[in-house]
């Protein structure tokens, strides 16, 4: 067992800071992230050219070192040595949170094995940012990151996940989205899905609909920019779930208590349990009189 007190106890070793960077809009950089990058002794960057532009924008002069999937194993030993000497390091990816779809996790594990403090800063995360505006149920959800590229691997992957009730979040290249959605539809059926592209950038776009509708749309409007997919989990059918009025109202009230507006809560519950939205709307408003 290991206990880390990030700020209460001073340690001879340095600290490894995990610093999120903007996923598109530079104004999403936090004050704390800027100050941390200024005060550390070294920045471990996935791409020093890309991070260099960020540092220049915020007038940060801290030295960088390249740290990516192709050199991570070789560089971790040297980085640990610096930390053990008392130097503090910041690890950044090209965009978003470190350790998500990049080699940062390997450095975290190595630091923890040496009982070096690892401190994460909050910041931009594409999957969560898109999820809360998608219109699909935000809780529970499962984040998977990038999908397998080959069709057979995708089919096996989706088969293993098709019965999950959680909303699912994926990253995908715009050049592979159509093929991926085709495989997804074969396995999942024609579920509701949200395709988000160019998140936080000028051409940010949410495409909401059934998989078949999105396939038709993108066949006529080729995709550009960074994309992610948010797909609803497996929904219970009306034959599997038969709730009385009191139970449906309780579910609506629970959604409202979590911050949903009444009409949105009614819409979500009606869709999930396959009841008529207008009937549930009337039932709810009668209960409020």
- What would the pLDDT profile of 202-241 be if each residue is shown by its tens digit? 999 999 999 999 999 999 999 999 999 999 999 865 444 5
Q: What is the pLDDT of residues 236-282, one digit of tens each?
A: 654 445 678 888 888 888 888 878 888 888 888 887 777 888 888 88
Q: Is residue 1 part of a domain?
A: no
Q: Is residue 236 part of a domain?
A: no
Determine contact, residues 81/49, Cβ cutoff 8 Å.
Answer: no
Among 196, 139, 189, 129, which residue's Cα sits nearest to residue 168?
139
| 49 pLDDT above the threshold of 80 | yes
Q: Is residue 9 part of a domain?
A: no
**Shared-domain flag, residues 107 and 138:** no
Among 90, 117, 119, 95, which residue's Cα sits nearest to residue 228?
95
Q: Is residue 238 part of a domain?
A: no
More confident residue, 284 or 37: 37
- In CATH, what number is assigned to the domain containing residue 226? 3.30.950.10
Domain total for the chain? 3
| 125 pLDDT above the threshold of 50 | yes
**Shared-domain flag, residues 133 and 181:** yes
Q: What b-and-e string marks burial along 213-241, b requiring 16 or more CB atoms within 10 Å of the CB? A: ebbeebeeeebeebbbbbbbbebeeeeee
Determine contact, residues 91/14, Cβ cutoff 8 Å.
Answer: no
**Shared-domain flag, residues 222 and 261:** no
**Shared-domain flag, residues 92 and 143:** no
**Shared-domain flag, residues 249 and 276:** yes
Structural domain boundaries, residue 256: 245-287
**Shared-domain flag, residues 197 and 256:** no
Please give the mean pLDDT across all residues of the chain.
91
Length of the chain: 289
Q: Which residues pair with 15 in a beta bridge?
A: 117
**Shared-domain flag, residues 116 and 146:** no
| pLDDT value of position 242 | 64
How far is C-alpha 5 from the geometric centre of its chain's CA atoms? 27
Ramachandran angles phi, psi of 6, nearest 5°: -60, -35
What pTM, to 2 d.p., does this model score? Answer: 0.78
Angle of helix 211-220 relative to helix 177-188, nearest 10 degrees?
160
Q: What b-and-e string marks burial along 59-84, b requiring 16 or more CB atoms within 10 Å of the CB? A: ebeeebeebbeeebeebbeebbebbe
Q: What b-and-e string marks burial along 109-131, b requiring 16 or more CB atoms within 10 Å of the CB? A: ebbeeeebbbebbebbbbbebbb
| pLDDT value of position 281 | 84
- In CATH, what number is assigned to the domain containing residue 57? 3.40.1010.10
**Three-point CA angle 122, 139, 245, nearest 5°:** 150
d(CA 204, CA 198): 5
| 195 pLDDT above the threshold of 90 | yes
Mean pLDDT of 101-130: 91
Q: Is residue 97 part of a domain?
A: yes
Q: Is residue 8 part of a domain?
A: no
**Shared-domain flag, residues 56 and 151:** no
**Shared-domain flag, residues 97 and 119:** yes
Mean pLDDT of 78-98: 95
**Shared-domain flag, residues 277 and 191:** no
**Shared-domain flag, residues 169 and 204:** yes
Q: Is residue 237 part of a domain?
A: no
- Which one-letter DSSP state was computed for residue 252? H
Determine contact, residues 178/219, Cβ cutoff 8 Å.
Answer: yes
Give the position of tokens 């038709």.
Answer: 216
**Shared-domain flag, residues 227 and 153:** yes
């Amino acid at each position: 067992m290991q206990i880390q007190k990030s700020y209460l106890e001073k340690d001879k070793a340095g600290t490894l800071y995990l610093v999120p960077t903007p996923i598109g809009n530079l104004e999403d950089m936090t004050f704390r992230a800027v100050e941390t990058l200024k005060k550390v002794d070294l920045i471990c960057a996935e791409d020093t050219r890309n991070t260099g532009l960020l540092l220049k924008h915020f007038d940060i002069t801290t030295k960088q070192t390249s740290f990516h999937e192709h050199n991570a194993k070789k560089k971790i030993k040297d980085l640990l040595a610096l930390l053990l000497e008392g130097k503090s390091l910041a690890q950044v990816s090209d965009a978003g949170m470190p350790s998500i779809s990049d080699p940062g996790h390997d450095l975290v594990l190595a630091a923890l094995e040496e009982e070096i403090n690892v401190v994460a800063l909050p910041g931009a995360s594409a999957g969560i940012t898109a999820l809360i505006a998608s219109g699909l149920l935000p809780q529970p959800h499962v984040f998977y990151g990038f999908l397998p590229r080959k069709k057979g691997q995708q089919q096996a992957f989706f088969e293993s996940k098709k019965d999950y009730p959680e909303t699912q979040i994926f990253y995908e290249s715009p050049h592979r989205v159509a093929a991926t959605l085709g495989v997804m539809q074969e396995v999942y059926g024609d579920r509701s899905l949200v395709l988000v592209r160019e998140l936080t950038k000028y051409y940010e776009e949410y495409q909401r609909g059934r998989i078949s509708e999105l396939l038709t749309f993108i066949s006529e409007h080729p995709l550009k920019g960074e994309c992610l997919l948010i797909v609803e989990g497996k929904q219970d059918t009306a034959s599997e779930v038969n709730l009385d009025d009191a139970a449906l109202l309780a579910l609506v009230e629970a959604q409202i208590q979590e911050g949903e507006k009444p009409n949105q809560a009614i819409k979500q519950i009606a869709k999930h349990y396959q009841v008529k939205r207008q009937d549930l709307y009337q039932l709810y408003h009668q209960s409020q009189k």
